[in-house]
Amino acid sequence: MTDSKSKTGRVAFVGIGVMGREMARNLAQAGHDVIAYDIVPGAVSALAEYGVRAAASISGAVRQADIVVSMLPDTPQVEMLVHGPDGLLAMPPKGRLFVDMSTIAPEATRRMGEALLAAGIDMVDAPVSGGPGGARDARLSIMAGGSVPAFEAALPYLRAMGTTINHVGGPGAGQAVKLCNQLVCALNIQAICEALSLGRSFGIDLAQMREVLKGGSANSWMLDNLGAAMIEGDTSAGFRIDLMMKDLRLVLDAARQGPVPLPATALVAAQYMEAQAHGEGANGNQALFRVYDRLAGLERGQPAGRAA
Ligand code: NAD
């Protein structure tokens, strides 16, 4: 059953941040009746012009929803949405379907899925890749885990937010694939930082070098989307250093449980920690290049070029 106001179904959206605000807007623009909640008062108000209504509490948002979608920072916030006094187990949504699109721990996802299923609520984990631009343009890559019927029920809503949508396995499988995705992203950013650092030491024009790399087999999404900002020293976020560090922590936790040795990931995680220790946590991921500035002594006024 859908609300008479909506063409396709009522969505409760929890977490209206950098990604969530674009995704909620796309759901509204696809004709869904969206009611949103964020812990920061006022976060939802910018979406009023798209018809997104603000709820004062989680239960106020989810009670009448056909589907609940979350885009929250980390595992504890999603656990609170599920298990909290105001959460999904205490106040089940009418449609009994929950899609978590945050990046969180696969094991915790599996446990929440079991608890929800016992209460008659289906959970789909559907983390995304594509950044704020992909969220804005409804071109996200979405990797989903959960039962086939739950995935199929979620699909019409996922199509309003993404273009590449894959069901990759049972509960938690979407998060497992997302962690593999993040490992590749972090190591790719690190590789670009190292190449720019070496190119700089030769006195090469880095903007031109980026164009050359983009034209050949070294091209990547990261080089395309973050390379110019690295070279220009623009550290504005996008995808924050803090969030990638959270993802690398999830990757290394999962690797320890395997156990799976991931030596390169351990190294890049240490570099992200160094960036956080220098107060860069709220900056975009391209600020990893500043770790290389520091390694090269540039912050102490060392020349960027080769030693004579
Ligand atoms: P964000 O911090 O901008 O947004 C999170 C939002 O959740 C904030 O508005 C915050 O106020 C809200 N929030 C926090 N705790 C809450 C609670 N208990 N109840 C309700 N609202 C709460 O983060 P983001 O960049 O939008 O990322 C969200 C998730 O998506 C993260 O898991 C991140 O790893 C993942 N992700 C981000 C990107 C990106 O490029 N930013 C890309 C892919 C995936």
The reply to whether ligand 1 has any atom less than 6 angstroms from the CB of 132 is: yes
For residue 18 and ligand 1, the question of a CB distance below 6 A is answered with yes
Give pLDDT tens digits for 4-31.
444 579 999 999 999 999 999 999 999 9
Q: Closest Cα partner for 177 from 264, 247, 245, 238?
A: 247
CA 277 to ligand 1 center in whole angstroms: 21
* Those residues with Cβ within 8 angstroms of residue 134's Cβ, 6 or more apart along the chain or in another chain: 128, 140, 141, 162
Cβ neighbors of 253 (< 8 A, separation 6 or more) are 105
Check pocket membership of 113 for ligand 1, CB cut-off 6 A.
no
Per-residue pLDDT of the chain (308 residues; tens, 9 = 90+): 334 444 579 999 999 999 999 999 999 999 999 999 999 989 999 999 999 999 999 999 999 999 999 999 999 999 999 999 999 999 999 999 999 999 999 999 999 999 999 999 999 999 999 999 999 999 999 999 999 999 999 999 999 999 999 999 999 999 999 999 999 999 999 999 999 999 999 999 999 999 999 999 999 999 999 999 999 999 998 899 999 999 999 999 999 999 999 999 999 999 999 999 999 999 999 999 999 999 999 877 777 777 65
DSSP for 132-179, written as a single string: HHHHHTT-EEEEEES-HHHHHHHHHHHTTTEEEEEEEESTTHHHHHHH
Please report the pLDDT score of residue 178 as a whole number. 98
pLDDT at 1: 38
| Catalytic hit among 5, 178, 214, 246 | 178
- Tell me the pTM: 0.94
Look at residue 284 in the predicted model and tell me its pLDDT.
Answer: 97
- 7 tagged catalytic: no
Q: Give residue 213 CA to ligand 1 midpoint distance, Å.
A: 32
Residue with CA at minimum distance from ligand 1 atom 4? 17
Structure tokens at 75: 């595992």
Q: Is 241 in the pocket of ligand 1 (CB under 6 A)?
A: no
Answer whether 20 contacts ligand 1 (Cβ < 6 A). Answer: yes
- Position 71 scores a pLDDT of 98
From 38, 57, 226, 246, give the residue whose CB has the most ligand 1 atoms within 8 Å, as the site to mutate: 38
